C-alpha cells in the first residue's frame, strides 16, 4: 500500500528464519530486576541484549531476503511464543529497503492489552492533539508458516519519523526506558 500505517489496511507480515534462529530469538529474555539492581541502576541506556538473526520477509506480497529480525521489548512484551519484533531490511544487506523506502518495522505483540488496540488508539489521540508520535496500524504476523496473530505495526522512531514530524533529522534522539 501507499501508506504502511494506513489504519484501514491490515498489513500481512510473513517471516522466515531458520528454526534454530527462531528458537534462540524467542528464548532471549531479560528480567526487570537485572535492570534496576546494582549501583549502575539507570545511570545510562539500558544495554541492548537481543541479537539480530537473518531471515526473509514478505510484507503485503513484497519480499526481501537477508533481512534482520530481533526480539523487542523491555518487560511487558517478553514472550517465548509471540515476541514483539524489530525488522531491519538493511541489517545484513547495505541499503536494502522496500520500494516505498521502508527499512524498519516495529511489530508490538500488545501482550499487556487483551484488546490489542490501545497502542494505536493512543498514537491516534497524539495525532489529533497535534503532538508528534509514531504512526500505527495493525498487522497479522506469521513466522515460518505459523500465525502469531495481530500485532501493532508502529512506525519506528528513526530518521524518517524525525524528518516527517519535525522537518529534520538533525540532533540527538533519546528514548526513555523507565
Supply the pLDDT for residue 177. 60
Task: Give the model's pLDDT for residue 40.
Answer: 61
Q: What number of helices (H) and strands (E) belong to the chain?
A: 4, 7
| Alpha carbon distance 155, 67 (integer Å) | 17
pLDDT of residue 43: 67
HSE at residue 161, side-chain half, CA atoms within 13 A, is 18
For residue range 62-90, what is the model confidence (pLDDT) as tens digits? 999 999 999 997 766 678 899 999 999 99
> Does residue 15 surpass a pLDDT of 70?
yes
Strand partners, 45: none
Residues 146-164 have pLDDT tens digits of 999 999 999 998 888 899 8
Pick the closest to residue 161 from 8, 12, 7, 4 (CA basis).
Answer: 4
pLDDT digits (tens, 9 = 90+) for 129-142: 999 999 999 999 99
Q: What is the pTM of this model?
A: 0.89
Residue 80 CB neighbour total at 10 angstroms:
12
Amino acid at each position: 500500500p501507499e501508506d504502511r500505517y494506513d489504519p484501514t489496511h491490515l498489513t500481512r507480515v510473513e517471516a522466515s528464519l531458520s528454526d534454530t534462529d527462531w528458537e534462540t530469538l524467542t528464548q532471549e529474555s531479560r528480567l526487570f530486576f537485572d535492570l534496576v539492581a546494582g549501583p549502575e541502576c539507570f545511570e545510562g541506556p539500558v544495554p541492548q541484549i537481543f541479537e539480530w538473526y537473518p531471515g526473509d520477509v514478505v510484507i503485503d506480497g513484497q519480499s526481501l531476503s537477508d533481512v534482520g529480525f530481533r526480539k523487542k521489548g523491555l518487560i511487558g512484551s517478553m514472550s517465548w511464543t509471540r515476541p514483539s519484533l524489530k525488522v531491519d531490511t538493511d541489517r545484513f544487506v547495505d541499503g536494502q529497503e522496500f520500494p516505498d523506502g521502508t527499512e524498519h518495522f516495529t511489530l508490538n505483540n500488545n501482550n499487556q492489552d487483551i484488546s490489542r488496540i490501545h497502542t494505536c488508539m493512543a498514537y491516534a489521540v497524539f495525532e489529533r492533539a497535534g503532538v508528534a508520535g509514531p504512526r500505527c496500524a495493525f498487522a497479522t504476523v506469521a513466522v515460518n508458516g505459523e500465525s502469531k496473530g495481530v500485532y501493532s505495526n508502529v512506525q519506528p522512531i528513526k530518521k524518517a519519523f524525525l524528518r516527517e514530524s519535525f522537518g529534520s533529522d538533525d540532533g540527538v534522539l533519546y528514548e526513555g526506558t523507565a
